[in-house]
Homo-oligomer: A and B are copies of this chain.
Amino acid sequence: MSIKEIPVASLDAEKFIEEQAGLIHREAGAQPAVNALSGGVDSSAVTLIGHRALGDGLKTYFIENGLMREGEAEKVVAVFRGLGVHVQVVDARKEFLDALKGITDPEEKREAVTQTFYKKVFGRLVRESGAKCLLQGTILTDVDETVAGIKRQHNVFEQLGINPEEAFGYKILEPLVQLRKDGVRKIAEALGLPASVYKRIPFPGPALAARIIGEVTSEKLDLVRRATAITEEILAPTGAFQYMAILHEDRVTGVRDGKRDFGMQIEIRCWDSLDARRAIPTRVKWETLEALSLKILAEVPGVVSVTYNIAPKPPSTMEAI
Contacts and interface: CB of A to CB of B under 8 A. Distances in A.
A255 B310 contact: no
A262 interface: yes
A229 B286 CA distance: 26
A22 interface: no
A316 to B, nearest CB: 5
12 contacts: A248-B250, A253-B320, A253-B321, A255-B314, A268-B310, A280-B290, A281-B290, A289-B310, A297-B311, A304-B315, A306-B309, A307-B308
A317 interface: yes
Interface in A279-314: 280-281, 283, 286, 289-290, 292-294, 297, 304-314
Interface of A: 106, 213-214, 248-256, 260-263, 267-268, 280-281, 283, 286, 289-290, 292-294, 297, 304-317, 319-321
List 8 A-B pairs, minimum CB-CB distance, nearest first.
A307-B307, A306-B311, A293-B310, A252-B320, A283-B286, A254-B315, A304-B315, A253-B317
How many copies of this chain?
Answer: 2
B317 A306 contact: no
A321 B106 contact: no
B254 A314 contact: yes
Contacts of A293: 310-312
Task: Specify which of A248, A283, A307 lies most central, judged by the most chain B CB atoms within 10 Å of its CB.
Answer: A307
Task: Specify which of A106, A249, A294, A317 lies most central, judged by the most chain B CB atoms within 10 Å of its CB.
Answer: A317
A267 to B, nearest CB: 6
